[in-house]
Every structure is written in structure tokens, then in C-alpha cells.
Amino acid sequence: MAKITGGCLCGAIRYEIEGEPFRIANCHCDDCRKATGSAYATNIFFQEDQITLLQGTLKIFEHTADSGNTMFKEFCDTCGSQVLAGGSMRPGVKNVKVGSIDDASFVIPDVNLYTSHALSCTHIDENIENFEAMSPPA
């Protein structure tokens, strides 16, 4: 895969990623729905050192998840676009929000998380792994 590039809605934040993701997940938890303002979030997981911030400074919001882990969201301070996220349960790992990627045509989720929280209007693909809550670490 070539370098993945992306950024926020207003263009203040730009990043690039080297290498392959190790997981692509649709997450239906309440936290992801609230953070994205959507029915679910598609998160693409990379090792932190694969991601290079090229432009701008991300603001960080930390909170405690249902699991008790500390979670963080990294977003543009100007337009509010969430770009990255992570948490204490997977140090050194960040997830990239699919909506921030310039060309996300390669994205094929391999798992659905928190299907017990999925909205009734959301299609759950039974051909991939599905977990009613969080899956074991990938």
C-alpha cells in the first residue's frame, strides 16, 4: 500500500501513514457514536510510529470509557474534525477515523464492535467477526 494521507475538514491538520493497518473496525459503542455524530465509527488501527503529523496541532480530549480505560480523541481545534483516537488499553496504538482519510477506497472492515449498541437501522455484516462488546486486542 502507498502512503495514506489525510486531514481535517478545514485543512489545518494534515498527516501521512506508512504501512498497513492491523485492524479495521466498525464500532457501534455510544462513545464512538457521540464522538463522530454518526451511527457508528469506522476506525483504522496503526502503530503510533506509522503516523506522522505533517501540519497543524491536534487538540486532545481525554475521558474514561465504560471499561474504565482512559480514552483520548485528537481533533482539529478550528473545525472540530476528529482525526485520531486511542486509549490506555493499547499503548502505542492509534486509530485513524476513516472520514479523515483522503482516499479511503481501500477500507474494508474486518470486525464490528459493540453490536449490542448498534442502531436498528444499521446493517451488521455477518460475514465478518462481530462482538457484542469489545473484542480481544488484535
pLDDT, residue 82, reads: 96
pLDDT, residue 136, reads: 62
CA distance 7 to 110: 23
pLDDT, residue 97, reads: 97
Contact, 97 vs 12, CB < 8 A? Answer: no
Average pLDDT of the residues in 107-120: 93
pLDDT, residue 138, reads: 56
Average pLDDT of the residues in 23-43: 92
pLDDT higher than threshold 80 for residue 134? no
Distance of CA 81 to the CA centre of its chain: 12
Average pLDDT of the residues in 52-77: 93
What are the tens digits of pLDDT across the range 87-103?
998 899 999 999 999 99
Predicted TM-score of the model (pTM): 0.90
Q: What percent of the chain has pLDDT over 90?
A: 78
Top CATH class, 4-130: mainly beta
Instruction: Tell me the pLDDT of the chain averaged across its residues.
Output: 92
Within the chain, how many helices (H) and strands (E) appear?
A: 1, 11
